[in-house]
């Protein structure tokens, strides 16, 4: 599956910024754009993006999710490749869009989009074949597997490859790295006490790891983990992978 860009052709990607990154973490989007351009990738941003529809889907509002999916599919119809900074949104597009839009006018486009969509770390390593970067973040770093990237897209390797090959920061293992952070979308406010209790376990594991910074590939996880660290006034940080790779 490792295909590097055809010799001579400039790869073009369309960025699916995701609602959370758009609203709350635009700096992550900026870093991704700068990094990709430095690697010789042309980045476009189809206009009028909102959300992939995952919150609607996960809460069982499937007709509504399908309508949002149909719109997204149309917006990205002309893209050669789409990259997504969140594992959960990438999963939604690749895994659920075809089923949601089966039998509709957008069905074929949904299949095509699913096949052309990449999560950010997967794009760097598997599509571009780039694994070595520098970092100016104070380590040690510890990687948290977001559930949809790990179990939905079966990807635990690409973020680790990038982190382990970083020059400038050490990497330590995170105990229970594959354990959920407790975000789960609306779960975080439907059962906030349970969500917080799960988060506390993650934070305890982070402290035990000796890391100074947790790295993740999902805005939802980051919102939850950063939210907990900030509330505790912790010196530890939680960053998106793109914030750790020097652009």
Partner 1 sequence: MTEPLITTPLRERAAQALGDRFLHEALDIATTRFIALRRDAFGDFPEGEALRDRARAIKEATLQRLDAHLETLVANIERLGGHVHFATTAEEAREIVLDIARRTGARMAVKSKSMATEEIHLNDALQAIGVTPVETDLGEYIIQLAHERPSHIIAPAIHKTKGQVAELFSRELRRPGLPADPEVLTKIAREELRQKFLTADLGITGANFAVADTGTVVLVTNEGNGRMVTSLPRVHVAVMGVEKVIPSMTDLAVFLAILAKSATGQKLSVYTTLVQGPRRPGELEGPDEFHLVLLDNGRVAQLAGPLRESLYCLRCGACLNVCPVYRQIGGHAYGYTYPGPIGILLTAMLNGPASVRDLSHASSLCGACADACPVRIDIPRMLIELRREVNVRGIAPRSERIVFKALARLLRSPTLYRLAARIGRAAQRPFVSDGRIRALPSFFGEWTKTRDLPSIAARTFQERWRDLS
Q: Which residues bind to partner 1, rule: CB under 8 A? A: 17, 19, 21-26, 29-30, 33, 45, 47-51, 53, 55-62, 64-65, 67-68, 71, 147-148, 151-152, 178-180, 182-199, 201, 223-224, 226-228, 230-231
Rounded Cα distance, 148 and 185, in Å? 12
Which of 75, 62, 47 is closest to 101 using CA atoms?
62
Cβ at position 131, least distance to partner 1 in Å: 25
Contact residues for 142 (Cβ-Cβ < 8 A; gap 6+): 171, 172, 173, 174, 177, 206, 209, 211, 213, 214, 215
Cβ at position 150, least distance to partner 1 in Å: 8
Nearer to partner 1, 3 or 189 (CB): 189
Nearer to partner 1, 140 or 156 (CB): 156
Nearer to partner 1, 92 or 169 (CB): 92
What number of H helices and E strands is found in the chain? Answer: 14, 7
Which of 212, 213, 216, 210 is closest to 179 using CA atoms?
216
Cβ at position 149, least distance to partner 1 in Å: 11
- E strands within the chain? 12-15, 42-44, 82-84, 117-119, 141-143, 213-216, 237-240
Nearer to partner 1, 134 or 178 (CB): 178
Nearer to partner 1, 65 or 125 (CB): 65
Cβ at position 20, least distance to partner 1 in Å: 9
Cβ at position 125, least distance to partner 1 in Å: 22
Nearer to partner 1, 24 or 107 (CB): 24
Cβ at position 97, least distance to partner 1 in Å: 14
């Amino acid at each position: 599956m490792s295909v590097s860009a055809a010799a001579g052709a400039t790869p073009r990607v369309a960025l699916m910024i995701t609602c959370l990154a758009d609203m709350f973490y635009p700096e992550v989007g900026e870093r991704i754009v700068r990094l990709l351009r430095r690697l010789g990738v042309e980045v476009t941003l189809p206009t009028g993006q909102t959300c992939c529809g995952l919150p609607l889907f996960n809460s069982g509002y499937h007709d509504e999710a399908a309508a949002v999916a149909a719109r997204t599919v149309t917006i990205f119809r002309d893209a050669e490749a789409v990259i997504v900074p969140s594992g959960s949104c990438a999963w939604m597009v690749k895994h659920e869009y075809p089923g949601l839009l089966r039998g509709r006018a957008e069905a074929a486009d949904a299949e095509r989009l699913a096949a052309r969509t990449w999560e950010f770390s997967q794009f760097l390593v598997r599509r571009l074949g780039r694994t070595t970067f520098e970092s100016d973040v104070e380590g040690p770093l510890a990687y948290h597997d977001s559930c949809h990237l790990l179990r939905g897209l079966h990807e635990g390797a690409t973020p680790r490859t990038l982190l382990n090959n970083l020059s400038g920061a050490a990497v330590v293992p995170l105990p229970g790295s594959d354990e959920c952070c407790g975000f789960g979308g609306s779960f975080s406010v439907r059962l906030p006490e349970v969500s917080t209790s799960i988060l506390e376990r993650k934070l305890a594991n982070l402290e035990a790891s000796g890391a100074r910074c947790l790295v993740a590939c999902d805005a939802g996880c980051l919102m939850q983990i950063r939210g907990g660290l900030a509330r505790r006034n912790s010196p530890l940080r939680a960053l998106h992978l793109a914030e750790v790779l020097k652009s």
